[in-house]
Amino acid sequence: MRLRLRLLLLVLSSFWRKPLSLLDESVITFAVLPNDIDVTKVSNDRFIALMDLGRMELAFRVGLLTSMFRNKWLPLAAFDTIRFRYPLRAFQRYQLRTRVVWWDDEFFYFQQIFERKGRAVATGYVRASLLGPDGVVPSNKILDAIGQPAAKPERPEIVARLKELDDLIHETQKEKAEALP
């Protein structure tokens, strides 16, 4: 994660911000800083890094911070994709909206929308979990750590399609690895 100062500010502010439930939407307001842009606009890789911050902020506000430190859990993004619509330029203010849309036994699926003046400039989806000393932390263990009852939403169609794409990429990687001498 290349945004350590912003991460530190999110950790500190999470102690004063209103707690969220797992299915609530987290909204963070940012400004495009000079180190966020390539030549004239926010670089593609910076969007992905900012999405990491959005998920971390949601994790902190649902009460996972203590469990993450105690259990030595680290964030793990297994798959992400993003669709860009409009550029963000230097010093523009925007919001990052993050919410959990579904989960399975191992992973949570997040929708993350970058907005400027009420208009979506980019939309991303991420399949993520936490990584512990023994591997991926099961979703039910994370839910227990949050300590909030959460009714699992119906699986959105986009989650099924993203899972298909992730599986296809995984199969391609395995085929290439098996073809190596």
Instruction: Give residue 74's pLDDT band: very low, low, confident or very high (50, 70, 90).
Output: very high
* Domain range for 124: 4-153
How many domains does the chain contain in total? Answer: 1
Residue 176 lies in a domain: no
Q: What is the CATH number of the domain that holds 76?
A: 3.10.129.10
pLDDT given at position 90:
94
> Residue range 35-57: average pLDDT?
93
Residue 50 lies in a domain: yes
Over residues 51-62, the pLDDT tens digits come to 999 999 999 999
- What is the distance between the alpha carbons of residues 111 and 11, in angstroms, rounded to a whole number? 21
Residue 164 lies in a domain: no
> Residue range 153-161: average pLDDT?
95
Residue 148 lies in a domain: yes
pLDDT given at position 162:
93
How much is the mean pLDDT over the chain?
A: 92
Q: Which helix (H) or strand (E) holds 12?
A: helix 4-14
pLDDT given at position 14:
79
Q: In Å, how far are 18, 76, 100, 156, 168 from 132, measured between CA atoms?
A: 27, 10, 20, 28, 26
pLDDT given at position 1:
47
Side-chain-facing half-sphere of 11: CA atoms under 13 Å: 10
> Residue range 114-121: average pLDDT?
97
Residue 162 lies in a domain: no
pLDDT given at position 2:
63
Helices (H), 97-146: 139-146
Side-chain-facing half-sphere of 74: CA atoms under 13 Å: 8
> Residue range 99-116: average pLDDT?
97
Residue 58 lies in a domain: yes
Ordered DSSP codes for 19-83: P--TTSPEEEEEE--GGGBSSSSB-HHHHHHHHHHHHHHHHHHTT-HHHHHHHT-EEEEEEEEEE
pLDDT given at position 95:
98
Residue 168 lies in a domain: no
Residue 171 lies in a domain: no
Comparing 8-17, 46-55, 101-110, 152-161, which segment has the lowest mean pLDDT?
A: 8-17
> Residue range 132-138: average pLDDT?
96
- What is the distance between the alpha carbons of residues 142 and 154, in angstroms, rounded to a whole number? 19
